Chain A
């Protein structure tokens, strides 16, 4: 089955700087890659996603890049703010496979 690795596990960034979180996946058939933000005790919230027919997607301060050849994708957050502090999870699923396989999570802390 699919295996998703996520790095780093913790990340501290000065407010205003950029944060990058990276994930790799094992199944070359995977074609959908969402990113979720989870605050303590709350539900995961979809913040951005990308499909395999696209190399990059941007939504305001958040962007995701996908390299299908290398089987890795990354989340980029620019101009970080204190409210960006949370745990971020990447995930992957394949064509016809509804299951999402999650990465291990990255605890992002924005230092004021």
Chain B
């Protein structure tokens, strides 16, 4: 149990285009999902907290108009990187909160912006 999937696993796009990443909890309902960004050899940095049916809460310094988050159902949250630039290249990981405080992570999406 507690499986989280993420799609796509990797994506390469041109500068200026938008990329959508999906995060799904496959065998449980997640009222809260989280989006993280991880640069090489660094820790996970929380970008935003996503609650089903409400607006996401963004961390300080994260542009909400650039990183659009939608949490349409209890099993799906999406992150759209709008007008991507090379500095947005990173490993994006989602997590879903099941019971109490436990968070389970998706496999991550490696984004490369050319």
User: A residues engaging B (CB < 8 A)?
Assistant: 32, 34, 36, 41-46, 49, 89, 93, 98-105
**Pairwise interchain contact B102-A45, C-beta atoms closer than 8 A:** no
- Is A44's CB under 8 angstroms from B107's CB? no
Which B-chain residue is minimally distant from A95 (CB atoms)?
A: B101
Q: What's the Cα separation between A89 and B93 when bound, in Å? A: 15
Q: Which stretch, B42-50, B71-79, B81-89, touches the partner chain A? A: B42-50
Contact: A44 with B49, CB < 8 Å?
no
Q: B93: nearest residue on chain A (CB-CB)?
A: A43
Q: Is the CB of B43 within 8 A of A104?
A: yes
Q: B29 an interface residue at 8 Å Cβ cutoff? A: no
- Assuming the A-B contacts A89-B43, A89-B44, are A99 and B49 also in contact, with contact meaning beta carbons closer than 8 angstroms in the complex? yes
Interface size class of B (residues with CB under 8 A): 20 to 34
B90 located at the interface, meaning its Cβ lies under 8 Å from any Cβ of chain A in the complex: no
* Neighbour of B46 across the interface among A36, A99, A104, CB < 8 A: A99
Within the complex, which residue of B34, B97, B102, B110 is in contact with A49, where a contact is CB–CB below 8 Å? Answer: B102
Q: Give the distance to chain B from A50, nearest Cβ to Cβ, in Å.
A: 11
Q: Are B46 and A100 in contact (CB under 8 A)?
A: yes
> Known: A43-B93, A43-B108. Contact between A100 and B43, CB under 8 A?
no
B80 proximal to A (CB < 8 A): no
CA gap between A45 and B103 in the complex, in Å: 9
B70 at the interface (CB under 8 A from A): no
A103 to B43, CA, bound (A): 7
Complex contacts, B43 vs chain A, CB 8 Å = 89, 102-105
List of B residues within 8 angstroms of A46 by Cβ: 102-104
Query: Is B32 among interface residues, defined by CB-CB distance under 8 A?
Result: yes
Closest to B108 in A: A43
**Known contacts A43-B93, A98-B97, A100-B34, then 16 further A-B pairs from the complex at CB < 8 Å, ordered by chain A residue:** A34-B101, A36-B105, A42-B107, A42-B108, A43-B105, A49-B101, A49-B102, A89-B43, A89-B44, A98-B32, A98-B34, A98-B49, A102-B43, A102-B44, A102-B45, A105-B42
In the complex, A101 Cα to B59 Cα: how many Å? 12
Is B44 within 8 A of A32, CB to CB? no
Which residues from B are CB-within-8-Å of A105?
42-43
